[in-house]
């Protein structure tokens, strides 16, 4: 029998994995929300529940942090990573809420592409979290998230040019821009998560 | 007679308390500014003076940091906390300046609610700063600021929906949105201050 | 013959200097781009090349960080400084791209002033980077960048008031605002770089 000298620390990996899986659920709800014929109010409600679950997961991580003497990596990075995962969720939930609140009928095609980028980023993040344990293959994740963020950026710029081409009325432009900005914010927030993971890996290197 | 081995460090608590009290003054000026019949230019001028006082307080903290060998908590966190208190002030001052600059006649009711949230957040922050000394009861502060930030977020979203309902002309929508965005920015900035306080508490735990 | 105990660390200073010089090149391209009769597409293309060079410089710094055992200052600060220099470039490149993408004919005079502030901030940053070696005279740089950021802020607010004065059609207001926001974002990003330099100096003090 081997003694476990740092008995509790492993739970952080599982907690971050659970938080990231929650982002996958949220991103898939966003895909649903923007599909034709979707019951948008019901899906936005599910996303709100997802966000509450995320808040509780974040608080659980903070609580565990206060109880744990030896952490697997810097306390500050655990704190930051939890906060940044929370930021992704907040932007996704707000985008969904605004679509419903503004009663937006039709979303431009670029929004579908934005949401696909988010779904892929969420999946990559969820796959990367368990790799924090070994600190291996995190570089690939970081490179891929950066690539996705660049792609999201191109989609975003083309969407802005599309919005401003004169085919929408002004209020619709403004409403759509709020939604599109939140989705772009979520893509950026995924990059912040990846940057923190990279910082952790750099410190451990 | 007892020797004081760390003679200067205590001053940081007082300096942060003074900076946070300055935010309370600024928030109350914002409440005044949006009241009926207010002399907006005069109040915006007072807010500018408040912001200058804040800048000087921030520089005094940085200067003290350079002179102090032993600090009560991480140098980097002192630096970050001072910067983030500064960010709150910048957003509040800019919101006031834009109201005057755009000659906005009537502000929607939601703006009053936004400013009330800011006033409460400023008061809570000012009350929390002296508690950094004992690191006690900071969790309540953090929870309450997070609750206020959520409330501010709801007010903000409803304000956007109100702005975009077609009852304002386009330029008015744009001007009001700039003001409302700055106030929402100040609410977020209060949360960043609270997050840094939480980080400090987590490190000390 | 003297032994060099930390053989590789010096390269970071040169790498940061090169990254900051790249920002000077980019800022000067922005000045060109907004000049009368400029071939905007060609210049935006050069700025894109500049941004790619910046990305590669950032990755080189990260790579070096992984290989280096003893770094001249905290690994995390090296990481953050590289990322923040990258953020400046991203905003400048995006501003240029949007000017071309939106086919904006005439830019308001305030935009020229914004770009002049950026050029000066880039020069100051490039001059400051080699001083990281001695940690001397960094305070002047920090104060001057903060002054420039305040100046940029005043220009930005007057530009917003100008945009909203009713002389532009709505779509033009929206397009110009996107460009002006990115330029203001670049000014803020220069301040973040200066703040990180200040944090490094504070830690070493």
| Burial class of residue A92, CB neighbours in 10 A (0-12, 13-18, 19+) | buried
| Domain region containing B18 | 11-204
The reply to whether A136 touches chain C by the CB within 8 Å rule is no
Question: Measured between CB atoms, which of A94, A170, A178 is closest to B170?
Answer: A170
Residue from C76, C84, C182, C196 whose CB has the most chain A CBs within 10 Å, to mutate: C76
User: How close are the terminal C-alpha atoms of chain C, in Å?
Assistant: 30
Counting every residue written for chain A, the total comes to 205
Question: Measured between CB atoms, which of B166, B202, B203 is closest to A171?
Answer: B166
Residue B4 covered by a domain: no
Question: Measured between CB atoms, which of A76, A102, A175 is closest to B199?
Answer: A76
Dihedral, CA of residue B153, residue B156, residue B162 and residue B164, to nearest 10: -100
Q: Closest Cα partner for A10 from A135, A138, A137, A130?
A: A130
Mapping DSSP onto H, E and C, the string for C66-92 reads HHCCCCCCCHHHHHHHHHHHHHHHHHH
State residue C155's pLDDT score: 97
Confidence label for B135 from pLDDT (cuts 50, 70 and 90): confident
The reply to whether B181 touches chain C by the CB within 8 Å rule is no
Residue A110 covered by a domain: yes
Residue B180 covered by a domain: yes
Contacts of A59 (CB under 8 A, 6+ apart): none
Percent of chain B residues past pLDDT 90, beyond the cut? 71
Q: What ipTM is given for this predicted complex?
A: 0.81
pLDDT in tens, C32-90: 999 999 999 999 999 999 999 998 898 888 888 877 778 888 888 898 899 999 999 99
How many domains would you assign to chain A? 1
C14: its two tokens: 């040169």
Residue C174 covered by a domain: yes
Low-confidence ranges of chain A (pLDDT < 70): 1-9, 205
Confidence label for B63 from pLDDT (cuts 50, 70 and 90): confident
Partner-chain contact C160 B98, CB within 8 Å: yes
Partner-chain contact C171 A161, CB within 8 Å: no
Please tell me which chains touch B, using 3 or more CB pairs under 8 Å as the contact test. Answer: A, C
Distance CA B9, CA C165 (A): 51
Contacts of A157 in chain C (CB under 8 A): 94, 97-98, 101
How far does A205 lie from chain C, in Å, by closest CA?
Answer: 6
Contacts of B66 in chain C (CB under 8 A): 202, 205
Contacts of B43-49 with C-beta under 8 Å, sequence gap 24+, read B43/B96, B44/B96, B44/B97, B44/B99, B44/B100, B47/B92, B47/B93, B47/B96, B47/B97, B48/B93, B48/B97
Q: Closest Cα partner for A92 from A18, A33, A37?
A: A33
Residue C3 covered by a domain: no
pLDDT in tens, B117-131: 999 999 999 999 999
Residue of chain C whose Cα is closest to the Cα of A163: C171
Whether C47 and C93 have beta carbons less than 8 Å apart is answered as: yes
The reply to whether B173 touches chain A by the CB within 8 Å rule is yes
Range in A2-16, B33-47, C152-166, C171-185 with the lowest mean pLDDT: A2-16
Confidence label for C1 from pLDDT (cuts 50, 70 and 90): very low
State residue C164's pLDDT score: 95
DSSP string, B25-56: HHHHHHHHHTSTT--HHHHHHHHHHHHHHHHH
Residue B2 covered by a domain: no
Helices A170-204 and A109-128 cross at an angle (nearest 10°) of 20
Whether B182 and B102 have beta carbons less than 8 Å apart is answered as: no
CATH number at residue B69: 1.20.58.220
Residue C155 covered by a domain: yes
Distance between alpha carbon B151 and the CA centroid of its chain, in Å? Answer: 16
Q: Closest Cα partner for B73 from B15, B20, B125, B9?
A: B9
Partner-chain contact C164 B170, CB within 8 Å: no
Contacts of A202 in chain C (CB under 8 A): 62, 65-66, 75-76, 79
Q: How many contacts does A have with B, using Cβ atoms within 8 A?
A: 36
C76 against C144, higher pLDDT: C144
Q: Closest Cα partner for C83 from C115, C49, C50, C54?
A: C54
How far does C87 lie from chain B, in Å, by closest CA?
Answer: 19
Residue B1 covered by a domain: no
What φ, ψ does residue C74 adopt, rounded to 5°? -45, 135
């Amino acid at each position: 029998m081997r003694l476990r000298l740092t008995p509790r620390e492993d739970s952080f990996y599982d907690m971050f994995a659970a938080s990231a899986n929650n982002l996958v659920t949220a991103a898939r709800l966003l895909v649903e929300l923007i599909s034709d014929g979707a019951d948008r109010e019901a899906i936005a409600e599910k996303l709100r529940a997802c966000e509450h679950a995320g808040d509780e997961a974040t608080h659980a991580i903070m609580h565990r942090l206060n109880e744990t003497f030896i952490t697997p990596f810097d306390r500050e990075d655990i704190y930051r990573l939890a906060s940044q995962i929370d930021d992704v969720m907040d932007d996704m939930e707000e985008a969904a809420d605004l679509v419903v609140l503004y009663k937006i009928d039709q979303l431009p095609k670029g929004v579908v592409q934005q949401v696909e980028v988010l779904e892929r980023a969420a999946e990559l993040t969820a796959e990367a979290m368990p790799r924090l344990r070994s600190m291996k293959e995190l570089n690939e994740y970081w490179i891929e998230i950066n690539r996705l963020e660049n792609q999201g950026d191109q989609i975003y710029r083309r969407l802005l040019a599309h919005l401003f081409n004169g085919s929408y009325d002004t209020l619709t432009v403004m409403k759509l821009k709020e939604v599109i900005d939140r989705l772009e914010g979520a893509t950026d927030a995924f990059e912040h998560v990846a940057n923190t993971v990279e910082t952790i890996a750099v410190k451990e290197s």
